[in-house]
Structure 1
Amino acid sequence: MDPRFSLVLISLVLAFTALFDPSSGDDSEELLIRQVVGDGDALLNPHHHFSLFKRRFGKSYSSQEEHDYRFEVFKANLHRAKRHQALDPTATHGVTKFSDLTPSEFRKKFLGIRSRLHFPADANKAPILPTNNLPTDFDWRDQGAVTPVKNQGSCGSCWSFSATGALEGANFLATGKLVSLSEQQLVDCDHECDPEEPGSCDSGCNGGLMNSAFEYILKTGGVMREEEYPYTGTDGETCKFDKSKIAASVANFSVISLNEDQIAANLVKNGPLAVAINAVFMQTYIGRVSCPYICSRRLDHGVLLVGYGSAGYAPVRLKEKPYWIIKNSWGENWGENGYYKICRGRNVCGVDSMVSTVAAVQTSS
């Protein structure tokens, strides 16, 4: 027998044993739930995995009827995760904290990009930057320019987290200080509209657009600290913006071209970028580099682009794949500690279609 084959076989046996060893306690449950789509028994024994899911994510339901309904949704999502795994083999898909939600519930509660591609009149086109000396790998987290992963809750305010994340990074570059900014201010106070498209206003938990948020910040003067205007994830609150407590202000913002080298160059020079994406594969995403064979470019989720890598290992395709590093706003118990990796090179899931850079007002403080 080829010794290389023997080594692979032994590794697989050890991994399988560790995964299903009942003596390994909670760790084995963690592995079970994370590898559910690779387990041939998972779809045959959904009750067991639903119990693990409820315990892992602290799920409880108001009635037996609701519990039974969520179990049926959970079973459907097991099959959906398996389909996603087949379509996106370079990532790992499985059970997430969203596995008891229908796709429409997931979109309504956790996405929130207004479906239009029109940019505000004040948005400049980013100048073309040189790309010949870009670093091979880059991550703004290593520079201290990214705040910890936040959680938007069941409010479609992703756009506000994307906008404040970009401004937090820009403000860091301008002042040398990392300040967590208030998403709730945007949810409560930003109702910026596109005059050319009726009904396309930023609408709190009902969705918005990062560029419109930048427009609002530009007009109103700035954003308060998160600690002084904390996030509640609720709509309809009275605007509590206090201009005397502005922590960061927008100098200007620009739209970046679809060219991925230009996106990378702007990321390196100007800080984290506000990005829109199609999130259809994100409901079941566990980790590794997502590079689906087919993905709509209809944008429905706002995220923050913080870096890129040159080599995300893709064993199915037998070669290294470059990828973008995305900060999400669904808490650290989703994805790779709150982050998402998606491959670079062909505008997968529309990740290159709506990218903006923002500059903060430079202050002496």
Structure 2
Amino acid sequence: MDHQTFILSFLFFFIFSASAFKPTFSSISSTPNGEEDPLIRQVVGDGGVRLGAEHHFNEFKHRFGKVYSSKEEHDYRFFIFKVNLHRAKRHQRMDPSAVHGITRFSDLTGREFRETVLGLRRVKLPSDANAAPILPTDNLPADFDWREHGAVTGVKNQGSCGSCWSFSTTGALEGAHFLSTGKLVSLSEQQLVDCDHECDPEEKGSCDAGCNGGLMNSAFEYILKSGGVMREEDYPYSGTDRGACKFDKKKIAASVANFSVVSLDEDQIAANLVKNGPLAVAINAVYMQTYVGGVSCPYICSRKLDHGVLLVGYGSGAYSPIRMKEKPYWIIKNSWGENWGENGYYKICRGRNVCGVDSMVSTVAAVHTTAQ
């Protein structure tokens, strides 16, 4: 190949890749009025050349309403912000099929991030956990999304409380209740935070502990024993675990009939998702601190589970400009509000248990209740 042919080939590759990826990138790298988002450009483009980190820190504070109590605190958060800029750039290199940038967590250290918005209490299920039956997988749809079938409530926000496990639990039960009754009801995470102290019999001292973490299967066990869970409107979320339990059995809105653990096989996960509704899932959230959009498929990611989320669907493929091919993915509902990720959702590639997403998957069945 001569030099001119090589240059033309390279230009074709660059233009083709950019144009193919444009729909995903433009939707997450633009402000609502269609302008380029400087906070994302700072990380994935050449914003660092045109504008300094201080400018972007000011933009960050304005966008997310950040106010610090002193100059010392401000300067410290600015330092952490700059560290996280480098972290986001590193994540972008390691996870090129997604877009990483500045999020509302960009002024938090890694430890603060883990302590305030994660909260999976344990990294293994009890040995006596019920196994879900093996389902046929021959006729699974190529793409599936429970949001399109009315089984998913709006994106919620756990705030600065390690209660992700409670949102994963209620999300799965909300879907199961919908399949059982035809009614979509938003259930109370705060009931689980305040009232659920279910413990793991195999691990002394490991109990569901409000903002200090918990496990979805233990929460299902609590709901099964207590009789059910109330509506969100009857027991609203406060984001703290300092209140007394206010559970009222007269206001139960949904109850657990049974729950089980799904095989690590991804076809079985998909089959259980389609048949039984959204699934409670654990994941390693290290790339989620900087995630802005796209399909996350990092080259390397720990499978040490630290975050509870809700699996609501899957796609047959989203274009990866780096690997030049379609990549199948899972659709994850998170609990960090709609201004995180893709309107509160996370896409992570299927096929090799990336970030441990296939390692701890549970399905739940609901019983019919007469609560209105």
TM-score range, shorter chain: over 0.9
Which ranges of 4 or more aligned residues in structure 1 deviate by more than 3 Å? 1-13, 24-30
Deviations 1:121-172 (A, max 9, x none): 4x42100000000000000000010000000000000000000000000000
What residue is the counterpart of 2:65 in the other structure? 58
Secondary structure of the residue that 2:273 maps to in structure 1? Answer: helix
CA RMSD of aligned residues (A): 2.5
Is the CA contact (8 Å cut-off) linking 1:120 and 1:215 kept in structure 2?
no
What residue is the counterpart of 2:352 in the other structure? 346
What residue is the counterpart of 2:99 in the other structure? 92
After TM superposition, the structure 1 = structure 2 runs for residues 1-365 of structure 1, keeping only pairs within 5 Å, are 5=11, 27=33, 31-42=37-48, 45-119=52-126, 121=128, 123-363=129-369
**1:171–1:45 distance in 2 versus 1, CA, 3 Å:** same
Shift of the alpha carbon at 1:7? 11
Secondary structure of the residue that 1:205 maps to in structure 2? Answer: coil
Is the CA contact (8 Å cut-off) linking 2:120 and 2:305 kept in structure 1?
yes
Partner amino acid, structure 1, of 2:326: E
Is the CA contact (8 Å cut-off) linking 2:125 and 2:360 kept in structure 1?
no
Shift of the alpha carbon at 1:3? 11
**1:189–1:290 distance in 2 versus 1, CA, 3 Å:** same
Is the CA contact (8 Å cut-off) linking 1:140 and 1:146 kept in structure 2?
yes
Deviations 1:296-340 (A, max 9, x none): 000000000000000111110000000000000000000000000
Shift of the alpha carbon at 1:236? 2.1
**1:66–1:214 distance in 2 versus 1, CA, 3 Å:** same
Secondary structure of the residue that 1:113 maps to in structure 2? Answer: coil
Paired with 1:124 and 1:10, the residues of 2 have a C-alpha distance of 49
Paired with 1:364 and 1:111, the residues of 2 have a C-alpha distance of 34
Is the CA contact (8 Å cut-off) linking 2:17 and 2:321 kept in structure 1?
no
**1:212–1:30 distance in 2 versus 1, CA, 3 Å:** farther
Is the CA contact (8 Å cut-off) linking 2:254 and 2:368 kept in structure 1?
no
Is the CA contact (8 Å cut-off) linking 2:123 and 2:306 kept in structure 1?
no
Paired with 1:307 and 1:12, the residues of 2 have a C-alpha distance of 27
Shift of the alpha carbon at 1:33? 1.2
Shift of the alpha carbon at 1:205? 0.1
Paired with 1:139 and 1:216, the residues of 2 have a C-alpha distance of 28
Partner amino acid, structure 1, of 2:243: E
Is the CA contact (8 Å cut-off) linking 2:103 and 2:291 kept in structure 1?
yes
Is the CA contact (8 Å cut-off) linking 2:88 and 2:101 kept in structure 1?
yes
Secondary structure of the residue that 2:48 maps to in structure 1? Answer: coil
Partner amino acid, structure 2, of 1:212: S
Paired-residue identity, %: 74
Deviations 1:192-214 (A, max 9, x none): 00122111100000000000000
TM-score, normalised relative to structure 2? 0.91
What residue is the counterpart of 1:16 in the other structure? none
Structure 2: gaps spanning 5 or more residues = 1-6, 20-24
Structure 1: gaps spanning 5 or more residues = 14-18
Partner amino acid, structure 1, of 2:97: T
* Number of aligned positions between the proteins: 357
Deviations 1:243-265 (A, max 9, x none): 00000000000100100000000
Partner amino acid, structure 2, of 1:258: L
Deviations 1:214-269 (A, max 9, x none): 00000000000000000000012100000000000000001001000000000000
Partner amino acid, structure 2, of 1:76: V
Paired with 2:257 and 2:321, the residues of 1 have a C-alpha distance of 44
